[in-house]
Structure 1
Amino acid sequence: MSIELITVVALGLVFLIATVLPVHMGALAFVAAFVVGTAFVGEDTDDIVGGFPGDLFVILVGVTFLFAIAKGNGTVDRLVQLAVRAVGGRIALIPWVMFGVTAVLTAAGAVVPAAVAIIAPIGMGFALRYRINPMLMGLLIINGASAGGFSPISIFGSIVNGVVGRNGLPSNPGLLFVSSFMFNLVLSVVVFFLFGGRELLRRSAENTALGGGGRIAVAAEPATSVALGGGAVGHSRAATATGGNRGGGGRGGDTDAGATDGEPEHLPLERDHILTVLGLLFLAVGALAFGLDVGFTALTVAVVLSLISPTSAKAAVGQVAWPTVLLICGIVTFVALMERVGTIDWLGNMVSQIGAPLFAAILICLIGAVVSAFASTTGILGALIPLAVPFLLGGEIGPIGLIIALSISSSVVDSSPFSTSGALVVANSPTEQTDRVFRGLMIWGFSMCVVAPLLSWLIFVVPGWG
């Protein structure tokens, strides 16, 4: 067996084991890099560690550290309250508020499952209280997370743009973000009318609240703990993904959902909240307008906020998305090994020999969608884009269009209940509707495995973008 095939088999085993067993994919990838590198390639540990993505490490730590501070000092909760209060009694807008807030969180640097974990208990609580279809609420939350997930300062966006930049491919971070956002926005419009949105437009909160006098209650603190390590989270493990509290967010008045029967206390933004918002704006403007490094700028803002308010930032380091950091750094380190031994060129040449570039492009998107429906989207993005590099360098397919299509195909399927985001929605659904939501998300998620690659291929690849 050639060394190229050995590395491909090893990568496949990493994804397979992490999908069926509760073993962290990133740790598996590091072990695979060590075993394959030393036993089959003859490298030493210095060579293996040389493939560690230091730039991505700083970005992942910086943005998730900053977001942890924003969550810990109450900025996120206060912004959610303000957003929900702004819709007044128009309950048809509540799912869109959840879409918008989740998109803002991921665009600002929150890991997608973490953002869903924060908003899902709130949104599913509203869904029960105001008789909103839980599929509608859950899908808009997940789509919102994907919509913001590819901003230039987000986790997904940083991964894709970093991989593209290291491989010398043309990139357009702004177009990637706008394309992903618009795709998820249009998809959410379809979801809205498919799952009861038209009926919501005819109702008002005053005559639909369940025992709450028509007042919209704002969730304060979801009792959710995200498990990012295993890749897929199935039906039986959905409750585990939220700290064992199955359906806690879906019972209107439960403490876990944070919803109350009375009107929430509308408090003004305090000093720490204002400073945190200004810090996030500084990060966005600095990175987008002045080209400042996203990771170091985020760390700088986080450190300044920590100095100004040490108490509120004390626990933030422990809330950094370390599982995600381990995941993507492990995958990229193994992919770097594959690049050194020539596997990437070998696979790229195989794809190029298919003879039909457009068919090869949609095949790559389909692979990304199907695998991501069961495994980690961050891992897929870190692995599949490098595998497509030789194919893209051939010039027969626009690289920017294929990268956008692959990114959309791999992220939209997060609605599958076997992915972390989908499992979080299932776990926070009302107990009596859990099975229905699971089945609905399974049908929808698997349909997206075909629909998303096909649509994104038609929109971005066939016209030859980039």
Structure 2
Amino acid sequence: MSVQIITIIVLAVVFLVATVLPVHMGALAFVAAFMVGAFVLGEGKDDIVAGFPGDLFVILVGVTYLFAMAKANGTVDWLVQAAVRLVRGKIALIPWMMFLVTALLTAVGAVVPAAVAIIAPVAMGFALRYRINPMLMGLLVINGASAGGFSPISIFGSIVNGVVTRNNLPGDPGMLFLSSFAFNLALSAVVFLLFGGRDLLRRNADPVTENQPQDGTDGTGSTDGTGGAGGTAVIAPAATTAVTLNKERLLTLTGLLVLAGGALFFGLDVGFTAITVAVVLSLVSPKGAKDAIGQIAWPTVLLICGIVTYVSLMERVGTIDFLGGKVATIGIPLLAGLLICLIGAAVSAFASTTGILGALIPLAVPFLLTGDIAAVALVIALSVSSSVVDSSPFSTSGALVVANSRETERDYVFRGLMRWGFSMIVIAPLLTWLIFLAPNWS
């Protein structure tokens, strides 16, 4: 058996084991890099760690550090409350406001599951209070996270753009972000129409009381899923403590704007800029930064660094060129592109989207270098296909929505998200293929 085949089998085992057992995929990837490097290739420690992505490490630590400070000092809560105030009693706008707030959080650096974890309880509480279908609210939160997730300063965007740069591929961070946002926005419009949005357009703010049935039924908790309500197991309070824009939160908002402007218009490194802003904020307000270091997304850091380190080993032994050659032998570039997107969507529905993005783009590099398909188009198609399936209840985002649904409706939400998420495994790659690959954009 060739070394290339061995590395592919080991990578598949890493994804399989991490999916069915409670073992961290990033830690498994590091172990795989060590075992294959030391015992199959005879490499030393320096060779094995040569593929460690120092640039991505700084980015992941920097943006999650800054976001943790924004959460701790109440800036995130202020943004959520400000967004809700903009609704002004228009029930139909509440799901869209949750979409935009979640997109904003991921766009400025929040890890997708973290953003969903913050907004889902709030959103599902509003769903319960205003009799909004929980599928509508949950999917718009998840889609919002994916929509903002590919901004140039976001986690997903940083990973994809970093992988593209390191492999000397043509990239377009702005187009990646706009394409992902537009796709998720359109997908959310479909969700709005399918799950009771038209009914919301005819209603004003009429929150239910604690003694009223809240599921659109006779109070038994059953629902047909066509336009009922949903939410958390606890009634959303009529009013929450208002968060004011104090000096600390104003400085945090300014810092986020500096990070975005520096990265977008002045080419500043996202990771180092984010750490600089976070350190400045910690100097100005040490109390608010006290626990931020512990809130850095270390599991995500471990995940992507482990996967990229192992993929770098695969590159060194020629596995990437080997797979690229196999894809090229298909003879039909558009079919090969579709297959790559289908693989990304299918695996991502069960495994980590972050890990998939770090692994599949390098595997497609040899195929992209042939020039038969525009690299930017395939990267966008693969990124979108691999992220919209996060609505699966087996992904972290989908599971968070299920967990924050009202107990009597969790089964309905779980089954609904499973049907929707699994349908996206096929629909998303086909749509992205038709939009980005079939026209053969240059």
The TM tier, using the shorter chain, reads: over 0.9
Q: Which residue of 1 aligns with 2:237?
A: 260
Q: Distance in 1 between matches of 2:243 and 2:399?
A: 32
Q: Is 2:61 the counterpart of 1:84?
A: no
**1:287-328: CA deviation from partner (whole Å, max 9, x where unpaired):** 000000000000000000000000011000000000000000
What displacement does 1:211 show? 4.7
Q: Which residue of 1 aligns with 2:100?
A: 100
Aligned to 1:150: 150
CA contact (8 A) 1:129 1:252 kept: no
Query: Which residue type is aligned with residue 45 of structure 1?
Result: K
Mapped pair 1:371 → 2:340: no
* Residue equivalent to 2:131: 131
Distance in 1 of aligned mates of 2:132 and 2:87: 15
User: Normalising to structure 1: TM-score of the pair?
Assistant: 0.90
Gaps of 5+ in 1: 214-247, 254-258
Q: Measure, in 1, the Cα distance between the counterparts of 2:317 and 2:84.
A: 53
Q: How far has the Cα of 1:78 moved from its partner?
A: 1.0
Aligned to 1:464: 440
Q: Is the 2:74–2:243 contact (alpha carbons within 8 Å) kept by the matching residues of 1?
A: no
Change in CA separation of 1:80 and 1:436 when aligned onto 2, cut-off 3 Å? same
Partner of 2:165: 165
- The 2-side partners of 1:154 and 1:55 are apart by 14
Q: Does the CA-based 8 Å contact 2:308-2:358 persist in structure 1? A: yes
User: Hey, what's the Cα distance between the residues in 1 that align with 2:418 and 2:104?
Assistant: 26
5 Å-filtered alignment, 1:404-415, equals 404-415=380-391
Letter in 1 for 2:53: P
1:178 corresponds to which residue?
178
> Offset at 1:251?
2.9
- Counterpart residue identity of residue 383, structure 1: A
Q: CA deviation at 1:129?
A: 1.2
Map 1:285-364; keep pairs closer than 5 Å.
285-364=261-340
The one-letter amino acid paired with 1:126 is F
Corresponding residue of 1:245: none
Distance in 2 of aligned mates of 1:269 and 1:212: 35
Amino acid at match of 2:262: G
Question: What CA deviation, in whole Å up to 9, does each residue of 1:259-312 have, x standing for no partner?
Answer: 423x33434300011000000000000000000000000000000000000001
- Structure 2 distance, partners of 1:76, 1:187, is 26
Q: Secondary structure at the match of 1:156?
A: helix
Deviations 1:2-35 (A, max 9, x none): 0000000000000000000000000000000000
Mapped pair 1:187 → 2:169: no
Give the distance between the partners of 1:358 and 1:267, measured in 2 at CA.
51
CA distance in 1, matches of 2:439, 2:266: 32
The DSSP-based 3-state class of the residue aligned with 1:91 is coil
Extract structure 1 runs of 4+ deviating beyond 2 A: 207-213, 263-268
Cα distance change on mapping 1:100 and 1:212 into 2, 3 Å: farther
1:423 aligns with 2:408: no
Question: In the alignment, is the contact (CA less than 8 A) between 2:102 and 2:145 conserved in 1?
Answer: yes
Secondary structure of 1:375 counterpart: coil
| Rounded Cα–Cα distance in structure 2 between residues aligned with 1:267 and 1:368 | 41
Residues 99 and 141, structure 1, Cα contact 8 Å, conserved in 2 = yes
What's 2:67 paired with? 67
Q: Distance in 1 between matches of 2:256 and 2:151?
A: 13
1:399 aligns with 2:398: no
CA distance in structure 2 between the aligned counterparts of 1:464 and 1:289, rounded to whole angstroms: 29
SS class of match (2:70): helix
| Corresponding position: 1:388 with 2:370 | no
Distance 1:442 1:265 in 2: 35
Runs of at least 5 residues in structure 2 that lack an aligned partner in the other structure: 213-229
What is the RMSD of the two structures over their aligned residues, measured on CA atoms? 1.3
Deviations, residues 330-381 of structure 1 (Å, cap 9, x unaligned) = 0000000000000000000000000111000000000000000000000000
In 1: Cα distance, 2:243 partner to 2:300 partner = 33
- 1:150 match: secondary structure: coil
Using the TM superposition, give the Cα deviation of residue 170 of structure 1 relative to its aligned residue in structure 2, in angstroms.
0.3
Q: Deviations over 1:41-93 (max 9, x none)?
A: 11111101111000000000000000000000000001101110111111111
> CA offset at residue 212 of structure 1?
10
SS of the residue corresponding to residue 250 of structure 1 reads coil
Q: 3-state DSSP class of the match of 1:429?
A: coil
- Aligned-pair CA distance for 1:209: 3.0
Q: How many Å apart are 1:196 and its aligned residue?
A: 0.1
CA contact (8 A) 1:126 1:252 kept: no
